[in-house]
Amino acid sequence: MLEINELKPTSKSVLVLGSVSAVGRAIAHEFAREGYSLLLGDIEIEENERIAKDIRIRYHVFCDTLFFDASDFDSHPVFLEKVIEKFNGIPEGLVICFGYMPVQEEAQKDFNLIKRTIDINFTGTVSILERVISKFEERNYGFAIVISSVAGDRGRKSNYIYGSTKGALTRYLEGLQHRLSSTKVHLLLVKPGFMDTAMTYGLNLPQRLLASPEEAGRILYTAWKRKKQVVYVKWFWRYIMLIIQHLPRFVFHRTQL
């Protein structure tokens, strides 16, 4: 069995945060297949180590793990130091896949759930991304792939607490893309519709609109390769959301969306 110390990190390297998520795992496999060294950061230690071991065996690339809690903002500077230590420098890229979606009705009655959603989806992402992007900018090279959601495109009663954190994240990422437009740092904003993952488990969703995590991983990787700025998963969500965004309020308020 391949141990970590048998494989050395190369400069072709990616930090994947939320690597235990179904999509995080899928995108990690995409990069490993192309020979990238990987560092997997997640709140779940054991499953993360299992994923890393599997990647080392399959692709024979450096793949190590680190504990990462998106909502523990104070730990992020030290976390980044550990990343630099493990990779012997700043990685080439960062992929952010962590996220949290509360049950809307429960969150409406419990501010702690609302705060947790904001902390993980928005503040946690901004906290780590801003630090990493500054390093990429200093070097004038690097990339980030960040998962937002179509839920951020228009506030809907069924999901506006989660949706508002993704809406804020989308606006933040658009601003960051503007800031980076004159540099060689690439930022891909990902807007998935429904994906077949733990987050949507048990929800009654139309099968035809669902993307599997593997499909999502492939779409993200291809969009990144093509240097896209925004990608919808799957492509038709761009048009679905265009319609939803442009529904007049008097029509929209009669829907159960």
Ligand X SMILES: NC(=O)c1ccc[n+]([C@@H]2O[C@H](COP(=O)([O-])OP(=O)(O)OC[C@H]3O[C@@H](n4cnc5c(N)ncnc54)[C@H](OP(=O)(O)O)[C@@H]3O)[C@@H](O)[C@H]2O)c1
Q: How far is the CB of 69 from ligand X (least distance, A)?
A: 5
By beta-carbon proximity to ligand X, the closer residue of 91 and 99 is 99
Size of the chain in residues: 257
Q: How far is the CB of 230 from ligand X (least distance, A)?
A: 14
By beta-carbon proximity to ligand X, the closer residue of 4 and 199 is 199
By beta-carbon proximity to ligand X, the closer residue of 183 and 200 is 200
Measured N-to-C along each axis, helices 45-59 and 22-33 cross at an angle, to the nearest 10 degrees, of 20
Spatial CB neighbours of 135, under 8 Å, sequence gap ≥ 6 = 90, 142
Binding site for ligand X (CB under 6 A): 18, 20-23, 42-44, 68-71, 97-100, 120, 147, 149, 192, 194-195, 197-200
CA angle, corner 181, sides to 122 and 184, nearest 5?
100
Residue showing the smallest CB distance to ligand X in the complex: 99
DSSP-derived letter for residue 121 is I
Spatial CB neighbours of 44, under 8 Å, sequence gap ≥ 6 = 20
By beta-carbon proximity to ligand X, the closer residue of 3 and 74 is 74
Q: How far is the CB of 218 from ligand X (least distance, A)?
A: 14
Q: How far is the CB of 236 from ligand X (least distance, A)?
A: 14
Q: How far is the CB of 120 from ligand X (least distance, A)?
A: 5
Spatial CB neighbours of 22, under 8 Å, sequence gap ≥ 6 = 195, 196, 197, 198, 213
Say whether 145 sits in a helix, a strand or coil: strand
By beta-carbon proximity to ligand X, the closer residue of 7 and 187 is 187
